[in-house]
Structure 1
């Protein structure tokens, strides 16, 4: 009878496998042309229908309505018990409560992520082949691996970008291949398929989760917490293949066990590539430092996180490379498939180590904090709400203080130890918790760089990003806490004369946006005042009943519109106890912005996307987007605000003159980053790199002297010398004019994310609202030569011109969406600065 059931099981398996098709059998153009996303979905559907080794999970949707898929792959026995395996895995690592049986426990959990960048199509193409090889009954080797492994395979993290690229490529190619570069197949148009719908780079969004694709993926990721994560990419087509070990700098919190697995996987993969004669490199370029990548984020969550890069961006279907070879799409698929399966193989034979080290990682996190501090305190306020939301998305535990206590700790804003008072509603994050390593990565004041040649930004401390008074404590604290903040009860009023809305974070901007959309007239406080029970600070909003007689049911309408801002109050009299009365000129009306955002070739797609997303999603406010090529067709009279995102604007004199007239006639221009070049050293504008001709001459003489010295340097040190005048993305201290509307709600200082080497002297005849002082503090890497030049340079300035204004933003306040104080600053520029 036992043999009968074994034979029956074999017959069923053979019957199922007879239906199973390889990618090439299912897709006629597989390996020759990029697969449409719906075809990729169809291929995985046929795998799912013809195997008992796969479980399908739809974990979300993109902004364009495409499904986001994962496929859990293992042996049939493991699949049947998959939820128990998952729970046991989490419980043994201390990441979940309860108990689960170990019948099929102790599996290695491996997550494979493909195509976070849409125009790197060989990643998604190889996902189909990898999935097929794993479940193909004829592949005995993979079946052995899967006895001890559960694989979560995400074939395409960015379906919108992948579809944009693939649809374009299909629309412009014919039957003939064009490996030569002189063909549009290798000239992807703006904005390209790399980013998602809002032109966000999802590969830099793992930690911050500003985009919904990231939020939905990390929610599932936290339900599984893999031990190995493979992030599959492409790079320039002339490059060979990159696989681990990674390059320096590696973050200090990365364990030796994680590094050892990198070495093991590198050795296994190298042998396979050596046998086929394929070119590759390791330990270069791709480091493990910035925490929001697809390799580092899993690493700080206990996994062995790895990047795999195949040459192929811009290759189309086939491309002639510098070495005389032709790289085909099939080549790229083969290289990826081999490397990824090598990773799975390595995980299989290192399974016991992976399981042991993963559990030890979280045990150490709970018992032995890696960083300098044991706890972090963030003072309560509007921006704290957004910080709490980000911590929640990352499963980092926190609580709110429920008592008052005198404490001492490192103050981020002052960069020194200070005494402070812990108060109810202050946020407390402790290092001793399962996600303690990730929490410390986010909150350590400064991360040590083992190598200044870094691939991305080198500082990101959340207290600076969010602009909130924060403290790091070397000892844990024991205080009474609560799970949510409490808001004081509303003041009782006999009648409503006005509504007061604190200007203290992104939600304030969003509420103001909704008030404007509903034609509610709003005033801004330009002077601090005190009313019964209410301290009004500069920038706070006032909605007067007398300004809005056109609104029926004023009180009820406002309460509905303010429902998302629980710290609002009603005011029963315009007479102040101190300061200015509500009828004073200290409370000017705010103009309703009518915004034009430029798009198109020459403009950075990611920076454009950050501005678009800010209006469209963050604050839910209308913005008109016009391609720069169509600008001559637009009447500027329809707008009062123009936003110029970072970019290289090749404007003719006629368009520049139209912008000049727009400003002179009362319009406002917000120019970010290299968009400032439009106004630099132009007649009628104050923006200049040099304050005087003497400073221009002095800097030129210094550059000439450096070039003379460089004659004696050797070739090998060239890149290191260049670092002296570079910045990898560092946090720079700025002082601010708190009385200016551009600074409302930002705090006593502003810490800016500096990603560009461009700087401007303090302007003459303009308001230098936020600038870098002499002797400024900075965090992260800034080259020694550049660092000397940044003192007394302007970061954000406002110049009045005619009846209008221009706001100069040398740094991008919307950087990747997570620089929360920058989001508020941009809100000031749009809504508060007239």
Structure 2
């Protein structure tokens, strides 16, 4: 009877899997045009209904309410034991306390497709990869899946994928047009690369600012795969890229991870050699910046890998420079071969892969890779936001429960100092399962093995969050607690005003809510003190006398500031020292009426960073107008204009419109490339050189460099160009703490500089933040540029007529993770007149 049941079950299994269709059988235009996202979901639904070797897991939704799904693919037996496989893996690396009697040693391989929406061959190939893994006629893949669990995410960015695919369908006819000037090769602004908010999700793995990333990483940390494959496309003339990666490779990448890269490279090369397909390895795509789909998994113990197929801008078919026509089907075929080889290699090397993965976590705790063992972050309004980031990344932390004197490296001064740990200070110990990721994010500097980096080279969280922080070489013995202990509110007899500290994004969010609700708010310009309350510059005060419309003032204010737990009630406007609440040190804040320009000439990602800040970080209304419609706007309806980074080509009439807006009392926030609108224009102080002699000196130096360049060789031209560049480094800035633009930032501001743009200190303007002589920096800055950055302005404010221009040479909202930059932009939006 037992054998009869087994035979029947086997027959049922074969009858189920025999019904599955290939993508080309299921989708009539597969390989000829980009699929609709619902078709992708329909195809995977077909697979799950007709095979017992695949299970669906929905892990969330996008901003535009499209589903985010992964699919577990393995043998039917493995899928019946899937929870045991997952918990076994976590328990063996110290990320689960569950007691497992039967350890399940399966290789776990995560395949991620299409983090960039306009790289559609990735998602298209995901359907074929899944089919080949499930195809009952493919005996090879069935053998791989005996010891391997594949987690397949067919589209990390459904909103971007749909934006691109729907556009391509709109402009496509029956015939392909390989000529590069056809409209299907000229994607309109903003393009499909980014998500709804025009964020690059491939740079968001560690920071998790976006909803797609947060939901995906929650699932990722429930699995902790051993191999992660990140499937992309690049410019269509490029051959295929697969590992090994290029230098610089971060010091914390292990020999075992590098060895697996080499094995993958050898295996994949054999497949491509047999087909005669072009490819390359060890070029361009490095393993350094920690927030990519290859580096983030690598710092979490996996073998993280990027795969790149030429295809961006290719549409359905395109003529390459070598005369060959590259079709969508070609791109799909290349991805299928490369990705399946990764699964095959993981299965073949399963025993070593599992052993090395577990050793990674054991070794990283016993032999810490970084210089420091403990990190202490002083308690402030921004510390709470940092704790949220750590929690999302499953990095363990606690809070000091006692005071303790000690010494350590002080990030802000770049030297060792004595200090006192106080209750509620954040404590992060490197000795934990996420030891490597913790040290990557907290170490003051990272060693570059090669200056030809693909991305930013510094990102230390204490500088990004602008919080006073220390790093200790030894273990710290101190009593800790799991949550901050908050003191009770001060007792009061009457309510004269409400006080809200200006110390982070929640302050800006509360201020936006108050102003948008018609509540009048004042901001402190100088320090003062009231009973039990020390008011710092920038702190908010809401006077009962300013707001007679709030009939039940106390209860209504309690509701407004409910999410800002450190607010207080002030019972008298008479100060113990400093100015009284009704004096000139507490001016009323104007309610921003914000216009943001978009469209051709504006950087889509930088536009998206402002849009996301307004929509999601502070939940404040913003009107968005495309540049071509700017002439139709009645500027009297606005008092704030935001110009993000871009390549503006404004007409004289458009520039005059901005001039008049400022003179009449408007405020312009100009970021990075938008400064070109004002540079060297009559009536503005923005100029690269403070004097004619400074300009002449640089011209002379440049001429001398050109003369010397006559002896340079051709081979090292790219490296020589690095001397004048900065891919992304942290740069110390002196700040004018008395100016509203700097309120709440701390004693210094560490800016993330991502371009060589520079202006000497401006005349007739407030140079609120500038790079001093002998400044400190972290990350790579080219030798010739480094000296030239001294005494250059980073953030300045110029008064013009009744209005002002805020010049932001660096983008404080870069990728949304520079938390002190979020506060600086909040200052510009709300506090600067």
| TM-score between both structures, scaled by the size of structure 2 | 0.99
Aligned to 1:540: 539
Aligned to 1:555: 554
Aligned to 2:599: 600
Query: Larger deviation: 672-681 or 690-699?
Result: 690-699
Q: Give yes or no for contact 2:17–2:134 (8 Å, CA) kept in 1.
A: no
Determine helix, strand or coil for the equivalent of 1:794. Answer: strand
Deviation at 1:785, TM superposition (A): 0.5
Determine helix, strand or coil for the equivalent of 2:383. Answer: helix
Q: Which runs of 5+ in 1 are unaligned?
A: none
Query: Larger deviation: 366-375 or 315-324?
Result: 366-375
Q: Give yes or no for contact 1:249–1:288 (8 Å, CA) kept in 2.
A: yes
**Structure 1: how far apart are the matches of 2:339 and 2:165?**
23
1:281-331 residue CA offsets vs partner (Å, 9 max, x unmatched): 000000000000000000000000000000000000000000010000000
**Structure 1: how far apart are the matches of 2:383 and 2:518?**
29
Query: Larger deviation: 82-91 or 795-804?
Result: 82-91
Aligned to 2:59: 59
**Structure 2: how far apart are the matches of 1:229 and 1:11?**
34
Aligned to 1:704: 703
Aligned to 1:401: 400
Q: Give yes or no for contact 2:399–2:483 (8 Å, CA) kept in 1.
A: yes
1:749-805 residue CA offsets vs partner (Å, 9 max, x unmatched): 000000011100100000000000010000000000110100000000000000000
Aligned to 1:390: 389
After TM superposition, the structure 1 = structure 2 runs for residues 245-260 of structure 1, keeping only pairs within 5 Å, are 245-260=244-259
Determine helix, strand or coil for the equivalent of 1:420. Answer: strand
Q: Give yes or no for contact 1:88–1:101 (8 Å, CA) kept in 2.
A: no
Q: Which runs of 5+ in 2 are unaligned?
A: none
Aligned to 2:34: 34
Aligned to 1:354: 353
**Structure 2: how far apart are the matches of 1:45 and 1:100?**
33
Determine helix, strand or coil for the equivalent of 2:63. Answer: coil
Deviation at 1:2, TM superposition (A): 6.1
Deviation at 1:6, TM superposition (A): 4.9
Deviation at 1:365, TM superposition (A): 2.5
Aligned to 1:47: 47
Deviation at 1:363, TM superposition (A): 1.0
Q: Give yes or no for contact 2:735–2:768 (8 Å, CA) kept in 1.
A: yes
Does 1:14 pair with 2:40? Answer: no
Aligned to 1:831: 830
1:163-194 residue CA offsets vs partner (Å, 9 max, x unmatched): 00000000011001100112100000000000
Q: Give yes or no for contact 1:198–1:613 (8 Å, CA) kept in 2.
A: yes
**Structure 1: how far apart are the matches of 2:13 and 2:414?**
65
Q: Give yes or no for contact 1:157–1:213 (8 Å, CA) kept in 2.
A: yes
Determine helix, strand or coil for the equivalent of 1:182. Answer: coil
Deviation at 1:5, TM superposition (A): 4.2
Query: For this pair of structures, how many residues does the alignment match?
Result: 833
Q: Give yes or no for contact 2:52–2:76 (8 Å, CA) kept in 1.
A: yes
After TM superposition, the structure 1 = structure 2 runs for residues 242-281 of structure 1, keeping only pairs within 5 Å, are 242-281=241-280
Deviation at 1:743, TM superposition (A): 0.2
Aligned to 1:207: 206
**Structure 1: how far apart are the matches of 2:534 and 2:257?**
52
Determine helix, strand or coil for the equivalent of 1:337. Answer: helix
Determine helix, strand or coil for the equivalent of 1:68. Answer: strand
Does 1:806 pair with 2:805? Answer: yes
Aligned to 2:677: 678
Aligned to 1:82: 82
Deviation at 1:638, TM superposition (A): 0.4
1:97-142 residue CA offsets vs partner (Å, 9 max, x unmatched): 0212326x10010000000000000000000000000011110000
Deviation at 1:552, TM superposition (A): 1.8
**Structure 2: how far apart are the matches of 1:230 and 1:783?**
33
**Structure 1: how far apart are the matches of 2:604 and 2:107?**
39
Deviation at 1:13, TM superposition (A): 2.8
Q: Give yes or no for contact 1:665–1:803 (8 Å, CA) kept in 2.
A: yes
1:525-566 residue CA offsets vs partner (Å, 9 max, x unmatched): 001001110010000000000000111211101111111111
Aligned to 1:377: 376
Q: Give yes or no for contact 1:53–1:73 (8 Å, CA) kept in 2.
A: yes
Aligned to 2:505: 506
**Structure 2: how far apart are the matches of 1:781 and 1:728?**
7
Aligned to 1:309: 308
After TM superposition, the structure 1 = structure 2 runs for residues 623-642 of structure 1, keeping only pairs within 5 Å, are 623-642=622-641
**Structure 1: how far apart are the matches of 2:175 and 2:621?**
44
Aligned to 1:766: 765
Q: Give yes or no for contact 1:368–1:432 (8 Å, CA) kept in 2.
A: no
After TM superposition, the structure 1 = structure 2 runs for residues 748-827 of structure 1, keeping only pairs within 5 Å, are 748-827=747-826
Determine helix, strand or coil for the equivalent of 2:346. Answer: helix
After TM superposition, the structure 1 = structure 2 runs for residues 182-581 of structure 1, keeping only pairs within 5 Å, are 182-581=181-580
**Structure 2: how far apart are the matches of 1:689 and 1:51?**
65
**Structure 2: how far apart are the matches of 1:107 and 1:11?**
26
Aligned to 1:591: 590
**Structure 2: how far apart are the matches of 1:741 and 1:196?**
33
Aligned to 1:69: 69
